[in-house]
Amino acid sequence: MTEFLFIMQFVLAIIITIAVLLQKSSSIGLGAYSGSNESLFGAKGPAGFLAKFTFAVGLVFVANTIALVYMYNQQKNNSLVESISTSVPAPIEAPSAPVAPSTPVNTDNK
């Protein structure tokens, strides 16, 4: 599912880019390539249609982004910190020297 949303994200980004570039601006941009589409889009031309279309695709893009983040975090719920071992290793003990049996010390000097 994440792969589909990721591919959809790229497609939506390309569609938004084209829709924004087709809109009329001070320097016509890619709108010059659209020709005379007044009959298709109405008397005002494509300005109103492209603005609404860009807004709608933008909303879908934002919704797809939120869904993609949610799905990706559900799949990759592991953290790098969680993979670190927290067990404390046992201390290294130095080898002990053999101890001679102790003999009772006679403290009486009689």
105 versus 58: the higher-pLDDT residue is 58
Could you tell me the CA-to-CA distances from 84 to 75, 87, 88 in Å, in that order? 20, 9, 12
pLDDT at position 51 over 90: no
- Please tell me the distance from the alpha carbon of residue 33 to that of residue 38, in angstroms, as a whole number: 14
What is this structure's pTM?
A: 0.53
Number of residues in the chain: 110
6 versus 39: the higher-pLDDT residue is 6
Q: What is the pLDDT of residue 37?
A: 47
Q: What is the pLDDT of residue 44?
A: 57
